Amino acid sequence: MYAIEADEAKRLVVISPVGRVTKEEMKAAAKRAREVIKDFRPGFRLLADFRWLESMDPASGQYIADVMDAMMEKQVAEVIRVMPDPRKDIGLNILSQFHYGPNIRITTYETLAEALASIIPGQT
């Protein structure tokens, strides 16, 4: 499963893969991501929360890239990742080099609390 939520007022998109993500689920998520951000103005942030990911079909890579491309087209300003287990990176660092521009700030945190503290000023 792949959950995608957006808050245009807060200029934030949250993507959360859960469990064992199949190629078809990732394909649907890529389509959903484009729908969710269609009215977003440039400069929004993306929070990708991988805490609940168990595994992802290796054939999903093209759709992960599609999500990244959609974010770039809408001019995402920052990508914040929650990745408690670096072994579950699923190639994001490599894909990011090709699908995000050099001006996109990408940070990775082990916990959601750390990620939220980077988004919400004054939170610790």
Residue 38 is predicted with a pLDDT of 94
Which candidate, 42, 121, 82, places its Cα nearest to that of 92?
Answer: 82
Residue 87 is predicted with a pLDDT of 75
% residues pLDDT > 90 (the chain): 73
CATH of 2-116 among 3.10.20.30, 3.30.1300.10, 3.40.50.150, 3.30.750.24: 3.30.750.24
Separation CA 115–CA 124 (nearest Å): 10
Let me know: does 60 contact 92? Beta carbons within 8 Å. no
The SS3 of residue 3 is: strand
Band of residue 85 on the pLDDT scale cut at 50, 70, 90: confident
Query: For the chain, what are the domain ranges?
Result: 2-116
Mean of pLDDT values over 67-90? 90
pLDDT > 90? residue 33? yes
Separation CA 45–CA 78 (nearest Å): 5
